[in-house]
Amino acid sequence: MPRADTNIRNQTINAKIPKVVRLAVLQRDEGRCINCGATESLELDAIAPLAEGGAMVESNLRLLCASCMVIKGRW
Ligand SMILES: [Zn+2]
């Protein structure tokens, strides 16, 4: 199931992101999903996938809620 695969991958990515980088992204995006503005079930999303060489830095990360993360898997 694509949805389950996406969730597992994102949890793995989030676990590897340094706390200081997570906090920086949270502050920059004002603790909201950048897509729908939700403030719950937020996750960090790598714009350029880390598995494909994307950097684990603030500029390559954004906040998405769990719902938008699932939708993003189909973008
Ligand atoms: Zn959202």
pLDDT in tens, 14-61: 667 899 999 999 999 999 999 999 999 999 999 998 889 999 999 999
Instruction: Compute the distance from residue 7 Cα to the ligand 1 centre, in Å.
Output: 15
Mark out the alpha helices in the chain (DSSP H runs).
2-16, 19-28, 66-72
- Reply yes or no on whether the pLDDT at 4 is more than 80: no
- Long-range CB contacts for residues 33-37, cutoff 8 Å, separation at least 24: 33/63, 33/64, 33/65, 33/68, 34/62, 34/63, 34/64, 35/64, 35/65, 35/68, 35/71, 35/72, 36/65, 36/67, 36/68
How many angstroms separate the alpha carbon of residue 11 from the centre of ligand 1?
17
Q: 46 C-alpha to center of ligand 1: Å?
A: 15
68 C-alpha to ligand 1 centroid (Å): 4
Q: CA–CA separation, 9 vs 45, rounded Å?
A: 10
